[in-house]
């Protein structure tokens, strides 16, 4: 059975995307996946209940998935779910955490090695493992990468494992830019 969408990584971004997508009439089935099974099932339950309050009744399920596990195991999970679209929202450390948990000298060394900031290593690894699993699964879903898409997609393209499209840090800033310009010009953001 084909699933409309699979969201992998149900932390901040994945959880927010799920909340929107369970209310999208064109999506009738969603599978959420995360390494934290109890938490992930709770996220699915809360999103489903919220959607029902608004009159939407998508088929939403949860599956445990650890992208650091065996690639074959994850390929089998993807094959069983059989998603048309995979939304990758995984990370090993969110953007604000490195400065909070790593010493300044470690941040500096990471900045020296990684072109602009330490985000790439924390986002590339899980996406790389996901793309390997998708390749081994034998199915061809569209893949939207929400895990630092500005840098991860181009890096994976070099080895033939690029996602279909990325949504990234630059995309996140566009709403703020529109609001600022609209205020300065006395317009509404949609104008």
For the chain, give the mean pLDDT. Answer: 89
Residue 21 has pLDDT above 60, yes or no: yes
pLDDT digits (tens, 9 = 90+) for 129-172: 999 999 999 999 999 999 988 889 999 999 999 999 998 766 66
Q: Confirm if 163 and 145 have CB atoms less than 8 A apart.
A: yes
Nearest to 64 by CA among 38, 30, 33, 43: 33
pLDDT at 43: 98
26-61 pLDDT tens trace = 999 999 999 999 999 999 999 999 999 999 999 999
CA distances in angstroms from 107 to 119, 133, 151, listed in the order given: 10, 30, 18
The per-residue pLDDT for 103 is 76
The first and second tokens of residue 95, run together, are 């953007």
Give the pLDDT score at 94. 67
Residue 116 has pLDDT above 60, yes or no: no
Query: What is the Cα gyration radius of the chain?
Result: 18
Name the one residue in this structure whose structure tokens are 């995984």: 90
| pLDDT score, position 96 | 56
The answer, yes or no, to whether residue 175 has pLDDT greater than 90, is no
Superfamily holding 3-185: NAD(P)-binding Rossmann-like Domain (3.40.50.720)
pLDDT at position 98 over 60: no
* Confidence at residue 113, expressed as pLDDT on a 0 to 100 scale: 62
Burial of 185 (0-12, 13-18, 19+ CB in 10 A): exposed
Structure tokens at 178: 């529109």
Q: Give pTM, 2 decimals.
A: 0.84
Residue 86 to residues 5, 10, 14, 47, 156, Cα–Cα distance (Å)? 6, 13, 11, 18, 16
How many angstroms separate the most distant Cα atoms in the chain? 55
Provide the Cα torsion 5, 7, 8, 14; round to 10°.
170
**Whole-number pLDDT of residue 174:** 79
Average pLDDT over residues 106-121: 67
Decide which of 95 and 191 is more confident.
191
**Higher pLDDT among residues 3 and 178, named by residue:** 3
Which pLDDT belongs to residue 179? 85
């Amino acid at each position: 059975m084909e699933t409309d969408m699979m969201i992998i990584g149900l932390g901040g971004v994945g959880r927010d995307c799920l909340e929107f997508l369970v209310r999208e009439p064109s999506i009738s089935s969603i599978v959420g996946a995360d390494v934290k099974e109890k938490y992930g099932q709770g996220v699915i339950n809360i999103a489903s209940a919220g959607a029902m309050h608004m009159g939407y009744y998508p088929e939403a399920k949860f599956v445990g998935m650890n992208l650091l596990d065996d690639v074959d195991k994850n390929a089998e999970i993807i094959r069983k779910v059989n998603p048309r679209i995979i939304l990758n929202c995984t990370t090993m450390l969110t953007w604000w955490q490195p400065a909070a948990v790593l010493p300044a000298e470690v941040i500096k060394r990471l900045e020296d090695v990684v072109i602009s900031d330490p985000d790439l290593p924390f986002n590339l690894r899980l996406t790389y493992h996901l793309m390997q699993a998708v390749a081994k699964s034998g199915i061809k879903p569209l893949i939207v990468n929400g895990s630092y898409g500005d840098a991860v997609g181009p890096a994976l393209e070099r080895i033939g494992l690029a996602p279909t499209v990325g949504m990234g840090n630059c995309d996140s800033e566009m709403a703020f830019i529109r609001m600022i310009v609209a205020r300065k010009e006395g317009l509404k953001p949609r104008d």
